[in-house]
Chain A
C-alpha cells in the first residue's frame, strides 16, 4: 500500500450548500422542462397550440424539452448526488468552494442560454447536441471546472479505497468530456451559427456515437453511482454483491460505447458498423441486468420497508424501469424488431420509460431522502410522497402503453401492402388519424406524472419551510501518503498491463486479417487465464485483492476507464473518418453529387433552424414498402455534403429524402403557410413567418466559403457570385409562383426552403 491512515484526525465540514443548490435547480428546471414537453405533446393533437409563434412551435420546443430534461433536470440531480456522496465516501470536503460555485452557477447559465437560444432557432439540429458553439464552449469550461474539483477532491481524500459509486462518476466525467467535444467540433461562421466539421454518414456515426453514449454516460452511469450509494443508505443494507458491481461497472464501460450504430440500422451506414452496433447492444443486456439485480437484491431482508418508505418505493421502481429499458433497448437493436419500431413512437415510449421511470424516479427518491436530512428534519408528508409515487407510476405506464400502441400501429401501417402489391395506407392523413387517440392518452399520462412532480415540490417546500440547513462536521482519521509509487510502477502494474494488452489485442482482433485475428484470440484467451490465475493466487495469501490494486489509484483507474471507452469509439469512428470518401465520380472526374446551390444551402439552413428533423427523416430504408412510398433507398453519397446530416430519427411526417419534384412549388408554398389547407388531418405546424423573413444574402458567400473549408467542392467564383446566383434562382421560383397568383420575394426564406425541398433526392450532377 502506498498510504496509511495515521492516528491524526481532522475535522471535515461537508459542503452541502452546493448540494442544496443543485437540488433546487433540478426540481425547478424539471418542472419547466416537463411543462414544455406537455405543450409539445399537445401540439401533436392540436397543432394550433403554437399560436403561429415561431418560438412556441413544436420543432423548436421539442429540443428545448429534451435538453431541459437531460441536462437541467438529470444534470443537476446527478451533480447533487455526486457532491453529496463523493464527500462522504472520500471523507473530505470538495476541494474548492470556488470551483463548486463555478460549476453550480455556470451550469444554470448554460441552461438559461439553452432556454433562450433553442426557441429562437439557434441550433445545430443534432439531437441532444443542439446547442450552438458559444454555449458548447461554456459547457466545456464548466465541465472542466467540475472535473478539476472532483479529481482534486480525490487527491485530498481521507479514505484509501474508492467505492464503486465513485468509479461510475469518474467514467461519467471523462467520457462525457470526450463525447461532447468530438461531436461538437464545428466551424463557426457567426456568433450564433456554425457548421459541424463532419458531414453525412460520418456525422451520423459521430452523432449517434455521442447520442447513444449520452444516454449511457449522462443518464445511466452517474445514476448508477447514485443508486450504489443511496439505495444501500435508504435500505440500511450493504450492496448485495460488491463483486457484481465490479463486473457491472467494467461490463458497461467497455460495451456501451460500441452500441451507437443501433440508431442507424438499415440506413446507408456500412453494414459492418450496423452489425457491430447490434451485437454489442445485445451484449449490453447482461451487465445491465446484473446491475439491476444487484440493486434490487440489496433490499433482501428489507422488503417490508418498501411498503412504508416512499424513498425505497421510488428506488425500487426506478431500478425496475432501468431493467425494463435495458431490456427493451437491446430488443429494439435486433434488426427485424428495429425495422418495425424505428422512426415510430415506440422509441418515444422507450426513452420515456428511461427518463421518467429510471431518471425521474431515482431523482424523486433521492430528493425525498436527502432534503429532510439536509435540513435536519422529517419529510413533511409520507402519504403525499406515496401518492406522488402512485400517480407517477400510473402516468408512466399510461404514457408508455399509448406510445407502444401508437408506435406499433404506425410501423404496421407504413409497411402494410394490399394483395395487389400496393400500399394499403398510401395517405399520411390516415396514418395520423389512426394514432390521434394515443396522442391524447400520452398527454394525459404525462400530465399525471407532472402533477406528481408538483406534489413533490410542495412536499419538499413544506419540509424545509422555516428550517435552517444543517452543517455537517465529522472528525475523520487523516490519510497520509507515505512512499508514493513511481509512475512507472503504476503504469506497469499487472492489472494495467493486462487491461492494456487486452484492449490492444481486441482492436487487432477486430481490424486484422484472419491470421492476426486467430493469433489475437489465442492471446486474449491466455490473458484471461493469466488474469484469472493472478486473481486466484493473490487473494487469501496476504496480498491485495487484484482489483484493490487499482481501486486505490484513481489515476490508473481513470486511464483504464478511458481506455475501455476509447476502444469502441476508435474502432467505429476512425475507419469512417480516415478512409477516402467513397464518392462516385463522373466521366469528367467531377464528384457525381453536386453541392447545394447558394439558395438551396440557405434553404437548408432554414430547415436546420426550424428543426424539421424532429418530425421528418431523410433516410429511406431498403424495404419494399419504403420504396413504394418514398422511392429508391438512400445512398451514402447523397448526404456527403450535408453539414450537419439530417437523417432524422422520427417520422411524425413522411420521409423527405426524395420529396424533390413530388409537388409543385405552389404546393409547398401553401403547405408551409398552413399544412391543413392541403391535408386536413395534418398535425404539422404552420410556418407563416418564413414568407416575410428574408435571407441575409450578405452572409451567403461566407457560408459557401466555410463549406469549402470543410471540404465541399465550391469553386472560388461560385463563392464570390453566391448572392447573385441566389437571387437569380429565387427569381425563377418567385416568377413561377406569381403566375399562380402567389406573391413571394426572390430572397424570402420560404423561397430558399422551397428550393431546398425541391432539390432533395435530385443530387446527381446535371439532374437539377
Chain B
C-alpha cells in the first residue's frame, strides 16, 4: 500500500516529508523529556515507588 502509493508517484518528496515528520516528533519528544524545566508533579510521580510500604 505504501509502496504502491509511492511507486510511480511524482511526489517522491512525500516519504522524505514523512521522515522529517517522524524525526521532528522524535526530537520533540527528547527535548520535552530532557527539558530542565521543573515540574513538581513529575517529581512526585517519580518518587512514588520509594514511599514506605
What residues of chain A have their CB less than 8 Å away from a CB belonging to chain B? Answer: 14, 85, 88-89, 159, 161, 163-165, 228-230, 232-233, 236-239, 241-244, 246-247, 251, 271-272, 275-276, 283, 286, 290, 472, 474, 510-511, 513-514, 517-518, 521, 524-525, 528, 532, 535, 539, 544-545, 548, 551, 575
User: For B46, what are the chain A residues with a Cβ–Cβ distance below 8 Å?
Assistant: 232, 238-239, 241-242
From 1 to 53 in chain B, residues with beta carbon under 8 angstroms from any chain A beta carbon are 1-5, 9, 11, 14, 17-18, 21-22, 24-26, 28-30, 32-35, 37, 39, 41-53
How far is the CB of A197 from the nearest CB of chain B, in Å? 24
Q: Of A236, A545, A551, which is within 8 A of B50 by CB?
A: A236
Q: Of B2, B17, B34, B43, which is within 8 A of A244 by CB?
A: B34
User: What are 12 of the A-B contact pairs (CB < 8 Å)?
Assistant: A239-B49, A242-B42, A242-B46, A243-B33, A247-B29, A247-B32, A275-B2, A290-B33, A510-B1, A514-B5, A525-B21, A545-B41
B50 touches A272 (CB 8 A): no
How far is the CB of B35 from the nearest CB of chain A, in Å? 8
Inter-chain CA distance A528–B28, complex, in Å, is 10
How far is the CB of A276 from the nearest CB of chain B, in Å? 7
Query: Which of A239, A243, A472, A518 has the most chain B CB atoms inside 10 A of its CB?
Result: A243
B33 touches A244 (CB 8 A): yes
User: For B21, what are the chain A residues with a Cβ–Cβ distance below 8 Å?
Assistant: 521, 524-525
How far is the CB of B39 from the nearest CB of chain A, in Å? 6
Inter-chain CA distance A525–B24, complex, in Å, is 10
How far is the CB of B14 from the nearest CB of chain A, in Å? 7
Q: Of B9, B11, B34, B49, which is within 8 A of A241 by CB?
A: B34
Inter-chain CA distance A465–B14, complex, in Å, is 66
How far is the CB of B12 from the nearest CB of chain A, in Å? 11
Inter-chain CA distance A242–B45, complex, in Å, is 7
Q: Of B11, B32, B35, B50, which is within 8 A of A238 by CB?
A: B50
B53 touches A474 (CB 8 A): yes
Inter-chain CA distance A159–B29, complex, in Å, is 28
A272 touches B2 (CB 8 A): yes
User: For B44, what are the chain A residues with a Cβ–Cβ distance below 8 Å?
Assistant: 161
Q: Of A163, A275, A535, which is within 8 A of B3 by CB?
A: A275
B50 touches A514 (CB 8 A): no
Q: Of A88, A89, A272, which is within 8 A of B1 by CB?
A: A272
User: For B9, what are the chain A residues with a Cβ–Cβ distance below 8 Å?
Assistant: 514
B41 touches A517 (CB 8 A): no
User: For A551, what are the chain B residues with a Cβ–Cβ distance below 8 Å?
Assistant: 45
A521 touches B18 (CB 8 A): yes
B14 touches A272 (CB 8 A): no
B29 touches A233 (CB 8 A): no
How far is the CB of A231 from the nearest CB of chain B, in Å? 9
User: For A513, what are the chain B residues with a Cβ–Cβ distance below 8 Å?
Assistant: 5
Inter-chain CA distance A228–B26, complex, in Å, is 22
Q: Of A247, A275, A524, which is within 8 A of B33 by CB?
A: A247
User: For B39, what are the chain A residues with a Cβ–Cβ distance below 8 Å?
Assistant: 539, 545
Query: Which of B3, B21, B45, B51 has the most chain A CB atoms inside 10 A of its CB?
Result: B45
A89 touches B3 (CB 8 A): no
Q: Of B1, B3, B22, B41, which is within 8 A of A575 by CB?
A: B1
User: For A539, what are the chain B residues with a Cβ–Cβ distance below 8 Å?
Assistant: 37, 39
User: For B24, what are the chain A residues with a Cβ–Cβ distance below 8 Å?
Assistant: 528
A161 touches B32 (CB 8 A): no
Q: Of B2, B41, B42, B53, which is within 8 A of A88 by CB?
A: B53
User: For B17, what are the chain A residues with a Cβ–Cβ distance below 8 Å?
Assistant: 521
Residue of B nearest to A531 (CB): B28
Q: Of A88, A238, A518, A521, which is within 8 A of B47 by CB?
A: A238
B5 touches A89 (CB 8 A): no
